[in-house]
Structure 1
């Protein structure tokens, strides 16, 4: 019996070796690529072949990864994302106007499908597709033609759309909308607003998907089903969240949480950075970064001056990720070092770091918990507010508002987080909870990816609720 059992295990493993896997994200910011990169590298080490489509050219070479970056999609995203995000938020305006958010889905789809490099993919054969749960509809048209199972990496952790279509209950009363500033502890009024936001977004999404379906039929033929019909057949969802860093939620058997799939222990810093930190002595240093989608070099002059004045008052050295030229910073004090790029996780894991000043992007917030670092957040757009609200309610963050921000307010927030031990203690408490798992997020993601391959789509895990109307589920 033991020999038969071992033979069956070998057969199952053999079925997953060397699979051809197609990955794709239509996300409008580079951060959407990061979870895919990590999963791709893990799967390549397992012997799989990965083709990865996105609108962002590769910054570095990953051995065994074939990246496809359609030129028309790259050009569209570069033109589309040229926003004054910080300036709009400071004026109390929406950083991305509703129509701009709406048109992105079908315009980027048209650009991607019209590109010659995308069309060449029609000649390829794949065993499995892994799509971004944010804007998956366009790629669904391509993978429908392959007649293969598909999964999601739901890169926007608080986004419930792809989960809901797969049959997961949305629970608007306890699940804050990813565009809101709420937590899971809402008043009756806030629940009403949260529900109204979600219903409104569902209506808008229906229109967006209808327009996207029209684009799919124009490029791929009239037989392409409606994207909602394709979405309901998703095999598995890798959810970029976890109860420790997002909120506890009811999830179906075909969903696994993989928050921090990209998180890594800190490595030694380059000598120039280590020397700068060492010069601060025992006082330590502060790290400032607004992520990859919010360019600090494009910030309004009033905000730039505010930050420079605040950093000048601080009795700490400051590492500041700033994409502009240091020559433009004539008023910068010697305790501040600028860099166009910084090894964020290596910095967050440095023992001399006192606080992280950030925009509140999802991956950055995961990294702060992984490394046990308290934060001061200045949310800008999309899910930054809801991410920051979660960190604040968990006790390891102070959330500031760019519309009302002052030099004194920022200074006091930084000093409070540094000197009040409750913030660091809360960060380390969350760190311990996040790390106390039977497997890493990457191991979990690899296991379920190969599980879907072994079981030809693993459709037995799907919930019948996926075939119910939205109102009936929620």
Structure 2
């Protein structure tokens, strides 16, 4: 009987292995545009190019990439368009908060507002019954989803497809997925701390960890209506359940910039998926770069979704700073929206879109001026390019803290930028060769991995499919109540034992003292 079960198990594993070699059916889900789309597009391409049958479920209408022409995809795409009400709501959110970000405002409320917008979008996604029914009938082997957006988990659960979550940055959600994060040396998000903390910083970090739990509960509350509408009461999961049910978590980060920290078997990292050997730039761009001589050039880009700067005074300060440095400047800025009364500095070239990876791989590159998005940061690390950061929102502050801690760059909040200090910061990084040396060191760390990011991605996805899921990678702690994970029951038991022992010792000592004092009195009498 046992031999028969072993033979059946072997046969099933063999079928799964053969199926994976022939190509699995994989659904990728992305409901956020910009850099999130670029990452999930690359994930989909890599899996498709490695023999799998990939389809992306993607909504169109928000988070577009200004100036970027979407290339044709080798994989299939299922899309739907958002309604006018949601598009207006998203446009209002993005427009209103742009100025806030550049003025150093926004904070945690901006995250909650963004999640509210995504929740409204999610309701529209869950109402796409025709597409959802079609995807369910396709019987995908696995879904690979954007782990930033809670809606991708809800859709995967609704479709009944096991899923792998790809988080597009640093370990910002470690509390939600149950990743061990000792606050003594693992900085919480968004603390802007390093792994070297003094007492007050560790105190701050501890409170930040407690606060991150509150933030996650708030985000879950924002999506609660969708849970109630689309899942029956007796089988309704929580957002924490969906996070921990992921077969695998893959992070778009690398320890060339991230601080060393404990991981679990179901947590993997493949930072630098978008970073590649550079292709030659266009002839006219090469001619512009050649004019720089030995001074070289710098690239300025503040994110895939941000093609302009909404504060005119800041544009003037940056433009003036560029006019006072010897390098050529390639600045991603929508030319039609450039202030009419402001003359572009003679060494600056404005472009609606830049092929950032190719420019960073050019031998004359000297500096990347960036908002600090993780894709830009990883491309800079890959090519060994120093960084000057202008953080605006989300993980960008923490990303740039890591860049500074690794000694490959500096950062300036946008509201503190003036022509002189901005130009001085550029000159300091370009002329101080230690930044370039540190950047090249991090590049060696990233590039010298035994397997490149695309091979790691394919290998882990195929491993999950062949092994029938990631249950063997998930720790038992996911099934334990919180008081057991924190050993509170053990601590209470030990404390109780200690109290009982101390109580008994005190009682014995009192009896001994009483007996001794009684004997003394009898002898005296």
TM-score, normalising length: structure 1: 0.90
Name which of structure 1's ranges 224-233 and 181-190 shifts more when overlaid on structure 2.
224-233
Task: Describe how 1:118-267 pairs up with structure 2 within 5 A.
Answer: 118-120=131-133, 121-136=135-150, 138-161=151-174, 164-222=175-233, 223-267=235-279
How far residue 370 of structure 1 moved from its aligned partner, in angstroms, is 0.1
Greater share of helix residues, 1 or 2?
Answer: 2
Identify unmatched segments of 5+ residues in structure 2. Answer: 1-10, 65-69, 487-525
> How far apart are the structure 2 equivalents of 1:172 and 1:54?
37
Deviations 1:434-471 (A, max 9, x none): 11111001100110100111011131111111123457
Contact 2:177 / 2:240 at 8 angstroms: preserved in 1? no
1:134 is paired with a residue whose SS is: coil
Cα 1:79–1:109 shift into 2, 3 Å: same
Deviation at 1:391, TM superposition (A): 0.5
The reply on whether 1:24 has 2:29 as its aligned counterpart is yes
Does structure 2 retain, via aligned residues, the 8 Å contact 1:323–1:340? yes
TM-fit CA distance, 1:364: 0.5
Residues 11-410 of structure 1: matches in 2 within 5 Å? 13-16=17-20, 17-27=22-32, 29-56=33-60, 59-72=70-83, 75=87, 78-79=90-91, 81-85=93-97, 87-94=99-106, 97=110, 99-115=112-128, 118-120=131-133, 121-136=135-150, 138-161=151-174, 164-222=175-233, 223-295=235-307, 297-325=308-336, 328=339, 330-410=342-422
- Select between 264-273 and 91-100 the one with higher mean Cα deviation: 91-100
Q: Specify which structure has the bigger relative contact order, considering alpha-carbon pairs within 8 angstroms and separated by 6 or more residues.
A: 1
Give a deviation string over 1:371-417, Cα, whole Å, max 9, x none.
Answer: 00001111111111111111111111011122222111111110011
CA-CA distance at 1:235 after TM superposition: 1.1
Specify every segment of 5 or more residues in structure 1 that has no aligned partner in the other structure, as ranges: 1-6
Bigger shift: residues 420-429 or 188-197: 188-197
Which stretch of structure 1 is more off in the superposition, 58-67 or 418-427?
A: 58-67
Q: How many pairs are equivalent? A: 463
Native 8 Å contact 1:345 1:367 kept in 2: yes
Output the aligned Cα RMSD.
Answer: 2.6
Query: Which SS does the other structure have where 1:50 is aligned?
Result: strand
Looking at structure 1, the residues matched to 391 and 366 of structure 2 have their Cα atoms a distance apart, in angstroms, of 20
CA–CA distance in structure 2, aligned partners of residues 396 and 154 of structure 1: 24
Conserved 8 A contact 2:384-2:443:
yes
Deviation of the 1:98 alpha carbon:
5.3
User: Residues 375 and 397 of structure 1 are in contact (CA less than 8 Å); yes or no, is this contact kept in structure 2?
Assistant: yes
1:105 CA displacement: 4.3
Q: Which moved more, 1:419-428 or 1:175-184?
A: 175-184
Counterpart contact for 1:88–1:94, Cα < 8 Å: yes
- 2: CA distance, partners of 1:245 / 1:117: 43
2:104–2:392 CA contact under 8 A, matched in 1: no
